[in-house]
Structure 1
Amino acid sequence: MGAMREVGMAGFAMDEEFEPVPLRTTGEMGLTSTPETIIVRGTVRNEEAMAELRARPEVAGVWYDTPIAPFQFSHPHPEVKKNEAAGPCPIPPCDCDPATPKGTMADVATYLGVDKIWAAGFRGAGIVVGVVDSGITAQGRPVKAGETPKRIPRVIGGWPTADWGTESSKWGDHGNMCATDVLGMAPESQLYDLRVAGSGGSPGTISRALQAFQWAITQHQTNGTPHVLTNSWGIFQESWDATYARNPNHPFTRKVVEAINEGILVLFAAGNCGHTCADGRCGSETGPGKSIWGANGHPLVMTIAAVNKNEQYIGYSSQGPAALDANKPDFASISHFTGYFTSDSGTSAATPIAAGVVALLKQAKPALTQDACKQAIKNSAKDIGPAGFDPYVGAGILQAYSAYVKVKPPIVKTLVGPGCGIKTLRVSCKTVLPPICKTFVLKDCSPPIKTLRGPACLKKTLIPLCPPPPTLGGCPTLGGCPTFAPAFCTPPFPGNPPGFTPPQTWGWYPGYFGGSPWPPYPMAPYGVPYGFFPGGEQPYWGQGYDPASPQESETPESEQWGTEEWPEGSLDDPPQDT
């Protein structure tokens, strides 16, 4: 700091209120790797003084403190309007009407399959999402005068540390919108308010974003939170700051990479400068190669485009290639729905929706990394544009439940039977075991649940098993699959179902259905089968298994079975509805 005050004497007036930010450096940045490398903020008299400052040996670099702005299209500022020089729609029909919602938050959750993730027990509990934005008016905080009366729940901290959660109006409650959209997808998650919009008459700047990210990194090093950072802001034109727009070694972009390397999952909005109906702030810089700038398009971040719930491309969603990566955006999320506002809009709304989904995935798989999360979403996205990757929606539209299926932990089942021993196996919906050992139900296969009826049974929501016999004790079958396990029939079947004798008899599985681990019914005696053969063809006879004393082995994973995929027509193929 003393050296920097000396620099100030040479034409640099340091801002004493700006807390210096340490910068992890690499050779590619052209910066010294000593721990004394820090970022400070101040003013320079003129261009000549700036050149002199850059020439000093103790100065690693000098950058502009670039203004930043939110990516909500229907922003209240007067300069926000549709660009009159509209271009053709690359994936028709395009949605260029941000003021008209195409559904509600609940509709978005249903479309994405988020409701199915909730049903599986994942609602964001234990996950903290940092909303890097204009600020949040949080419940329980002393909100400043002139702010909206609306209060956002589940905000537990933030930066600036003295007054987080107290204002949101600088960007027209944009931060409140983003916070609401995160909670719409992950209602049990918690939030940090990281306010990068300036207070009073000052705009948001890149130096405030740098400080906010540093706070998040330090916090993560302390207690592992935030798990996710959502960013719905950026620059609208390269001319705002060409160095930041195109230089991957800009200090803020490097800080974003540092956050990802720390283990935080980071999402950025692509922007609102798509050529079809660009935001007026984009000027002439619209369309492919001229609309995703700076950290928003860094190869490591998740860059989010926008579509509506009806799978229509939003014509102002910025188009790749980005300045820092040709393969952008990564995928599209949902915008133009009723959330905090009548219509939450822009890639601004699409990004916190995606961040809420990422929070659910992180809860389902705590070890989830940035790259693994991005790949799971891209590999399960719904392609609506040209086949494969395209510069409009990337890999396609986020499909939350499909991504969840890719990242969720494996299912563990204990199998008992002759020739199997007693094994605790780690299996997934695409795992096959030796035929003699197929005595289990893959409860979590998609689609997992059907509501079925049978004349001798109560109405039950059960898991179909394949392949079946024609009937089971008078209970009908469905599309070649049994409608239920006879354990749920009334009255229970204590022995062999009528009409079936060895070796043709098929049995039932006295196991795990609908969340109830073991139904109350008489145990099958020796010689009565208790396992269907999902994907197998040989009947299996086994001794009755006492669920009151389950047996699990500590078989090393290297000895566990199951390496092949199911053939066509097995559990991965959904059964037919009644």
Structure 2
Amino acid sequence: MPPGYVRVLMQRNQNGMLLRAANDLLEGGSPVGTMGEYIQRNATPDFLIDDEFGALPLWDGADQRLAVSTRDRGEKASALLALDKSNKFLIRAYVSPESLAKPDFNDGEPVWLDPDVRGQLALPPANKATGDIEMVRQDLNTAVLQDNSLYGAGVAVAIVDTGICRPHLAKRLGFNPDLDVGNSWTPPTVATTPGHHRIGHGTMCAYGVLAVAPNVTLLDYPLLLGRPAGEHTVSATIGEMMSGYLKLIWRWAVIGTIPQTALVVNNSWGIFHPSLDDFPPGDPRRYIDNPNHPFRLYIWLLTAFGADVVFAAGNCGGGCPAAVCLQRTTGMIMGANAYDEVLTLAGCDIHDARVCYSTQGPSIAGMPQKKPDITAYTEFLGSKVLRGPRGFEPDTGTSTSCAVASGCIAALRTVQSPTATDPAAMIAALKATALPLGGAVPNYDYGFGIIRPVAAGRSLGIIP
């Protein structure tokens, strides 16, 4: 990014070049050539267009036109979400603050910030596990899930993170987990391939899912490695997340290449401080407190077509916030992590005590306030992706609790299709059957309580 410039997502009118650039992305090709042509014809001193980003369809008005049903998912999606049905597209650009302040910038079309996001990993103060994965399974009563054949077979789980190391998972779990390479996606800036990324945060999250639902099919989406050219942090931007979500929407809802009957999308990431959003509160260009940001349409489309989307609450709780929170502990559930359409997870240890860094509600002003939704387990010895001076580190952060909850949902989805129970109904069932803690329910520490998948299965009629 040029010094002093701001990275933004800009809405532009449809034309043949943007259609081709979007199609390049969906076919796995590079949009650079097409976007180079677009840049030549739309050159301006006000901003620099990122030719590697391509163009993302906005399907304006899709949320109003779509009658929600998963019975004819492919037919409805292909009719509604064809690229030429989108009158508007998003491109990424780098803009000087002076240009951005012009009232007629971008010909008056909307502009949104494209801020950094990172994984929600937090080390406990003592860096000491409170138990192990077997204790987590006992608390979740996974034996009853398995007695009822709820292993996650026929369910795809997309790990939107830093990538999966499948050999490490096989070593830790004692079996080689199923991975759909063809329906995974690796950003073009990443050299490693699905299932063979560096051991780290994404592998930890995949482990949390598999520990509860071992028969799921993993989809590897290392979007947190998809940083813009020239940046070298293990982070990404909302634009990268939207690019990956476009692939999921297309494959799940439109062309149907994801063959499983259910899809769970695990998001153990978020924006970690409001200072990353450079615009003042109330500015429509912001992401963190803007319920009308275009990313919400992408998440809504996935849920409308039956996918369960799960997010971590964050690690900025009042007791011991992670260092990246810069001591801010209020209004720290932000952006997509606060959307109504997603299930937002707080974290507790195996003794059911809220971990001190688990972010508390309410969400940031301007967003749905009643978050987190429920709580799941973290701070246990499980994946062993990290080793410190005292041995293996525990799996920590609301990243881990998010993954455990995704595994619980995947187990229930083994037989409970989104046709029978849509994502909103699944969220309602998990809230209604959670173990209530923290006083009046819901509350801002635990939400509705600690996840109880067996109770949820009974309420759904799939466990006697």
The interval holding the TM-score normalised by the smaller chain is 0.7 to 0.9
CA distance in structure 1 between the aligned counterparts of 2:232 and 2:334, rounded to whole angstroms? 25
Q: How many residues align structurally? A: 373
Separation (CA, whole Å) in 1 of partners of 2:336 and 2:368: 10
Identity of aligned residues (%): 28
Partner of 1:337: 380
Are 1:206 and 1:252, in contact at CA under 8 Å, matched by a contact in 2?
Answer: yes
Please list the CA deviations of residues 180-234 of structure 1 after superposition, one character each: whole Å capped at 9, or x if unmatched: 1111110000100111123572531111111111111111022255601010111
**1:239 maps to amino acid:** S
2:321–2:327 CA contact under 8 A, matched in 1: no
Matched, 1:402 2:464: no
Pair 1:250 & 2:293 matched: yes
Q: 1:207 to 1:114 in 2, by over 3 A?
A: same
Aligned to 1:294: 335
- Secondary structure of residue in 2 paired with 1:135: coil
d(CA) in 2 for partners of 1:38, 1:67:
21
Tell me which amino acid in the other structure corresponds to 1:122.
L
Q: Give the Cα separation in 1 of the matches to 2:104 and 2:146.
A: 54
Deviations, residues 328-362 of structure 1 (Å, cap 9, x unaligned)? 10000000111112310000000010000000111
What amino acid maps onto 1:108 in structure 2?
Answer: V
- Structure 1 or 2: larger helix share? 2
* Residue in 2 that maps onto 1:213: 245
Q: Is the 8 A contact 2:187 2:225 kept in 1?
A: no
Letter in 2 for 1:369: D
One-letter code aligned to 2:186: P
In structure 2, which of residues 91, 94, 97 is the aligned counterpart of residue 40 of structure 1? 91
Deviations 1:245-301 (CA, angstroms, capped at 9, x unpaired): 1001112233222221222100000000011111111113204xx210101011121
SS where residue 73 of structure 1 aligns?
coil
Describe the superposition over 1:68-88 as per-residue Cα deviations: whole angstroms up to 9, x where unpaired. Answer: 1111103xxxxxxxxxxxxxx
Give yes or no for contact 2:360–2:445 (8 Å, CA) kept in 1. yes
Contact 2:118/2:236 (8 A) holds in 1: yes
TM-score normalized by the length of structure 1 = 0.60
Supply the distance in 2 between the matched residues of 1:246 and 1:36 (Cα, whole angstroms): 25
| Matched-pair contact (CA < 8 Å) for 1:104–1:338 | yes
Aligned partner (choices 42, 49, 72) of residue 14 of structure 1: 49
Aligned residues: CA RMSD: 2.7
Query: Secondary structure, in 3 states, of the residue corresponding to 1:382?
Result: coil
Shift of 1:318: 0.5
Kept in 1, the 8 Å contact 2:48–2:94? The answer is yes
CA displacement 1:459-502 (0-9 Å, x = unmatched): xxxxxxxxxxxxxxxxxxxxxxxxxxxxxxxxxxxxxxxxxxxx
Q: 1:139 Cα deviation (Å)?
A: 4.8
Equivalent position amino acid for 1:18 in 2: F
2:161 paired with 1:129: no
Q: Tell me the distance in 1 between the aligned counterparts of 2:360 and 2:207.
A: 26
2:149 aligned partner, one-letter code: G
Provide the secondary structure at the position in 1 that maps to 2:160: strand
Which residue does the alignment assign to 1:91? none
Instruction: Report what 1:201 is aligned to.
Output: 232
Residue of structure 2 in register with 1:382 after alignment: 435
Letter in 1 for 2:89: I
1:55 counterpart residue number: 105
CA contact (8 A) 1:248 1:298 kept: yes
User: Which blocks of at least 5 consecutive residues in structure 2 are unaligned?
Assistant: 1-14, 19-37, 65-83, 169-173, 280-285, 385-392
Letter in 2 for 1:23: L
Residue 71 of structure 1 pairs with residue 120 of structure 2: yes
Change over 3 Å in CA distance of 1:34–1:188 after alignment to 2: closer
Moved more, 34-43 or 212-221: 34-43
Q: Which residue of 1 aligns with 2:35?
A: none
Instruction: Check conservation: 1:127, 1:189, Cα contact below 8 A.
Output: yes
Structure 1 residue 312 corresponds to structure 2 residue 353 = yes
Identify if the C-alpha distance between structure 1 residues 231 and 168 changes in structure 2 by more than 3 Å, giving closer, same or farther: same
Name whichever of 334-343 and 13-22 sits farther off. Answer: 13-22
What aligned pairs does 1:88-103 form with structure 2 within 5 A after superposition? 97=125, 99-103=127-131
Report the Cα offset of residue 56 of structure 1.
3.5
Q: Is the 8 A contact 1:12 1:53 kept in 2?
A: no
Q: Name the SS of the counterpart of 2:288 in structure 1.
A: helix
Matched position secondary structure for 2:394? coil
Encode CA deviations 1:408-449: one digit per residue, 9 max, x unaligned.
34xxxxxxxxxxxxxxxxxxxxxxxxxxxxxxxxxx64xxxx
1:387: how far off? Answer: 2.2
Instruction: State the structure with more CA Rg.
Output: 1
Letter in 2 for 1:206: I
Q: Is the 8 A contact 1:164 1:195 kept in 2?
A: no
TM-superposition CA deviations, 1:354-408 (whole Å, max 9, x none):
0000001111211331111111111011111112210111000001110111123
Using the size of structure 2 for normalisation, the TM-score is: 0.74
**Separation of aligned partners in 2, 1:10 and 1:335:** 49
For residues 97 and 92 of structure 2, the distance between their equivalents in structure 1, rounded to whole angstroms, comes to 16
Matched, 1:156 2:209: no
Provide the secondary structure at the position in 1 that maps to 2:219: strand
Q: How does 1:434-453 map to 2 (within 5 A)?
A: 445=464
Distance 1:152 1:175 in 2: 16
SS at match of 1:197: helix
Aligned to 1:227: 263
Q: How does 1:434-513 map to 2 (within 5 A)?
A: 445=464
Relative contact order higher in (CA < 8 Å, ≥ 6 apart): 2
CA distance in 2, matches of 1:395, 1:118: 25
SS in 1 for 2:111: coil
